Each structure stands twice: as structure tokens, then as C-alpha cells.
Amino acid sequence: MAVAHSANAGDPAASAGGETRRRSEPGALIVVDRVGKQYANGTVALDDISFTVAAGEFVSLVGPSGCGKSTVLRMIAGLGPITSGDILFEGLPPHRARQERSDLAFVFQDATLMPWRDVAGNVELPLELRGLSKSERRDRSGEALETVGLADVARSYPRELSGGMRMRVSLARAFAAHPRVLLMDEPFGALDEISRQRLNGELLRLCALAGWTVLFVTHNVFEAVFLSSRILVMSRRPGRIVADVPVDLPYPRVAHVRTSPEYSRVVGQVVGLLEGAAGSTEED
């Protein structure tokens, strides 16, 4: 995997051979190795995608619309087949990981709440499907809602909540499942900027509290830089990883980091990489 214009561009570990060594590093929770995706109509969606996500990392995927970011996320979750290459989640292929483990949660762009269930019932749903007792479901749900600041609306219904509150319910549902890995597909994309920034901070607080490892898809570069320890930049279709950008801003990330020179520098770097990626062609 070539790394274009990355802060690591001069580092042999960021070269194609270095990427092979990185994939073999111990402790990787997610390994994506030379993965390709071709649809039945012949469209090549992804080409030779390789990266890892280690425990405790917050890794964002950014790229032009249609480049396959969400497809990558869904394949890691075992929600779609791959055409070539390998994906391992904690050492297991995704479909086996889904069957044998319960430590991965997926948060979609829409909160995907059941309108006929109250807030507590929505948070308890995956626990119910896993066969947990009513008392354990109630305890976990209450703890998770307390964590996201929604304990007082446990008996409300989704229609009674704002968009931001519904997303916090979705986060609480993931938190209640006690995942090790959280996959998030543009969960704040439909929110206004103030709500988005508030929930960015809430997400990082929960990650620190719960020890989550996160793979996050977003179109918002400012959001990606604020949240991430690394940013993977994808080219337009067929999607490829064209840069792996480290974000060397200290955690915990506080609001005023957005005004720092280093934040602005990384934002500018990623924007430049995206402009290049959007202009690439299949022959590049």
C-alpha cells in the first residue's frame, strides 16, 4: 500500500513492505489484508485495501463519496462478503466473529431505534437477543443511559426525542453491549454543527471510560481530526488507501484544540490528500 503525502511518507514502516510488517504486529484487533470488492455487475468497489486497527485506537476513514468507506465497515462487521483478500476481527473471519463473539457494536448514520419501544427498551434490545436476564438488561440499560446523560428519558419514545438525543440512545445501546470494538458509519452526519461537536466530545469521553477501539466513517475532516488517532484517506472508486495520517494531538481532546496550529495543520494535510484522491483515476 503506497502512502501518499502522509506524515510518515519518509518512514520505511509506511512503505508497502512496512505495511506488511504493520499488519503482522501483535495486538491488532482488526486486520484488513489486500481486500477487494467487486459486485455482480462487474463494478469494482474496492481494490487492494490493507490496514490494521490496534487496541485503543480511534481510526477514521475519509474519502470521496462512493469510494467504499461504508462497504469496508460493513465487511468488517460481517454484513457483506469480500471478493478477495482477508479480514480478521480478533483473529476470526467476520462471520465467525459475529457468531462466536459479542464484543463488536455497529452504530449507523441513522439511530435505527424501534419506534414502538421506549428508550430503555431500545437500549436493551441487543441484550435481549443475546438472552440476558431481565434484571441484567435493566441494570446495563440504566448504567448506559446514565453514562450518556439520558437516564431521565428512559421511558420516553424515540418520537419524543431530538436527533441528538436519539443518537445518544444509539450510543447507549452500543455501550450497554460492552463492546471492545465500535464501528460507526457517519453517526453524526445529519446533525447541526453544535450538536455534532457536543457529541464528538461525548463519544471521546465514552471511549476513554469504556476502553473502546473505534473505526469511524465520516465526510467531515474537522470531525475526523478532532476524534482520531489516525486517519485513513481513500481514493475515489475503486477505493484504495492512499494515505495513513497520524494525528499527534494529545488526549483528552478538549474543544479549544480546534483552534490550535497543529489541528489546523492536520486538517489542511487531510484536505489536500482528499483533493488529490478525488482527482485520481482508475489508471493511477
What is the bridge-based pairing of β-strands 58-62 and 241-246? unpaired
Task: Report the pLDDT averaged over residues 124-139.
Answer: 91
Residue 86 has pLDDT above 60, yes or no: yes
d(CA 99, CA 280): 39
pLDDT tens for each residue of 180-224: 899 999 988 877 888 888 889 888 988 898 888 999 999 999 999
Residue 265 phi, psi dihedral angles, 5° rounding: -65, -45
Q: Tell me which amino acid residue 149 is.
A: G
pLDDT tens for each residue of 90-99: 888 888 887 7
pLDDT band at 6 (very low <50, low <70, confident <90, very high): very low
Residue 50 phi, psi dihedral angles, 5° rounding: -140, 130
Full set of structural domains in the chain with CATH: 12-103+180-278 (3.40.50.300), 113-178 (no CATH)
pTM for this model (two decimals): 0.82
Q: Is residue 261 reached through a cis peptide bond, with omega within 30 degrees of 0 on the bond before it? A: no
pLDDT band at 280 (very low <50, low <70, confident <90, very high): low
Q: Secondary structure of 146-195 in the HEC alphabet? A: HHCCCHHHCCCCHHHCCHHHHHHHHHHHHHHCCCCEEEEECCCCCCCHHH
Lowest mean pLDDT among 4-8, 162-166, 201-205: 4-8
Task: Report the pLDDT averaged over residues 230-239.
Answer: 94
Q: Cell 453524526 belongs to which residue?
A: 188
- At 24 the pLDDT is 45
Judge whether 234 and 242 are in contact, CB under 8 Å: yes
Edge to edge, what strands does the sheet with 28-38 contain?
44-54, 28-38, 84-89
Per cent of the chain over pLDDT 70 is 88
